[in-house]
């Protein structure tokens, strides 16, 4: 069967747009749909390649790429949970079932347990994430993808997908599965990048490489596989059974820099020489196996404790930060920010 576009379902409509290096460990082509303009890595990555991109040491602070800011994120999650719990307290029942897909080390789930009586559960493709969340916080986290988990129909009241949709290989199927496991009238809170703000730095780097005559590729360092515009997201949500209750464009200053409307300062464009791209070598370098989880666990726990600040855990600080961040938030129609923040409801 011919491959179709995940947004408009047009068969055989994806054509090559830009060659890049995905996380510096493999080459990949961003394709663009001739019909709707949606951009995505094609061919889609298989399960084996995904496991190499997100290995056990994805959370190691000394790796060249991956989730390197874990200790800072622990306290940030308290602030996110504080406002999210206040926002969703009224529409959700007191004992709501909550699933966070792509929960990483369980920071947000643990923080939500502090502010709510919701029954929280996590899902992540990293075995270490499951190990860490269970041992550190006692939060149940299953290892695998949403499609592999096979949760019961209409099982959850609320689903969180923060910085996840851009990483899944089949976004339409993923959203349909999310709809299946949500109760009628259930909610999905989702944050995903503005695709144009993701693509333009790659295109800028590609032009610099071409002008310099370098044997290199622009580096796609975040591992994103799909690049959504606002219209793409709205169509995807609607056709997979969701109503978009609210959409905001966030991180405006960073978005303007990525789009080229503000100077990028001293930040240089990211490239990698072709000779340095090696999937097996990069994937196995410093890999953490299950018997090495304890050492990495202890390191992350120490970093979290070292970075902890009592002031940054207080509600008055949360409100102060929220006030400052409100400057960088605009309605969803303003597509100049770095990310889209969406609240969806199942029909």
| pLDDT tens-place string over residues 193-238 | 999 999 999 999 999 999 999 999 999 988 899 999 999 999 999 9
Q: Which domain holds residue 192?
A: 14-346
Name the packing angle between helices 70-88 and 107-115 (round to 10°): 40
Q: Give me the CATH number covering residue 205.
A: 3.40.50.150
Residue 332 falls inside a structural domain = yes
If DSSP codes are grouped into helix, strand and coil, which group holds residue 50? Answer: helix
Tell me how far apart the alpha carbons of residues 116 and 249 are, in angstroms, rounded to a whole number.
Answer: 27
Domain for residue 9, yes or no?
no
> Does 273 reside within a domain?
yes
Most confident of 18-22, 56-60, 325-329: 18-22
Residue 335 is assigned to a structural domain of this protein: yes
Number of domains in the chain: 1
Q: Is residue 174 part of a domain?
A: yes
The whole-angstrom separation of Cα 300 and Cα 312 is 19
- When pLDDT is cut at 50, 70 and 90, the band that residue 267 belongs to is low
Residue 1 falls within a domain, yes or no? no
Gap between the Cα atoms of 209 and 8, Å rounded? 33
pLDDT exceeds 50 at position 151: yes
């Amino acid at each position: 069967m011919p491959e179709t576009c995940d947004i408009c379902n047009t068969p055989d409509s994806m054509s090559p747009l830009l060659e890049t290096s995905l996380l510096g460990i493999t080459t990949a082509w961003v394709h663009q749909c001739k019909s709707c303009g949606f951009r995505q890595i094609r061919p889609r990555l298989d399960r084996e390649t995904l496991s190499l991109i997100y290995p056990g040491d994805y959370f190691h602070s000394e790796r060249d790429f991956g989730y390197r800011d874990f200790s800072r994120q622990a306290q940030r999650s308290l602030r996110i949970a504080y406002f999210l719990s206040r926002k969703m307290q009224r529409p959700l029942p007191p004992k709501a079932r909550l699933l966070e897909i792509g929960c990483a080390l369980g920071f947000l789930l643990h923080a939500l347990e502090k502010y709510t009586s919701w029954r929280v559960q996590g899902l992540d493709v990293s075995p270490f994430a499951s190990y860490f969340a269970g041992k550190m916080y006692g939060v149940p986290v299953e290892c695998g993808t949403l499609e592999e988990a096979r949760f019961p129909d209409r099982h959850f009241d609320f689903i969180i997908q923060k910085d996840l949709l851009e990483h899944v290989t089949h976004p339409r199927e993923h959203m349909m599965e999310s709809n299946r496991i949500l109760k009628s009238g259930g909610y999905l809170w989702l944050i995903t990048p503005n695709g144009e703000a993701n693509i333009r730095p790659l295109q800028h780097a590609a032009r610099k490489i071409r002008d310099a005559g370098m044997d290199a590729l622009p580096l796609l360092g975040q591992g994103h596989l799909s690049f959504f515009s606002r219209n793409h997201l709205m169509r995807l949500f609607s056709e997979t059974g969701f109503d978009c209750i609210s959409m905001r464009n966030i991180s405006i200053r960073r978005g303007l820099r990525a789009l080229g409307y503000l100077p990028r300062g001293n930040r240089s464009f990211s490239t990698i020489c072709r000779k340095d791209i090696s999937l097996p070598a990069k994937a196995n370098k410093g890999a953490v196996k299950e018997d090495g989880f304890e050492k990495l666990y202890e390191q992350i726990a120490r970093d979290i404790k070292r970075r902890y600040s009592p002031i940054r855990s207080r509600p008055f600080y949360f409100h102060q930060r929220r006030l400052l961040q409100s400057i960088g938030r605009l309605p969803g129609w303003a597509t100049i920010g770095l990310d889209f923040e969406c609240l969806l409801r199942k029909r």
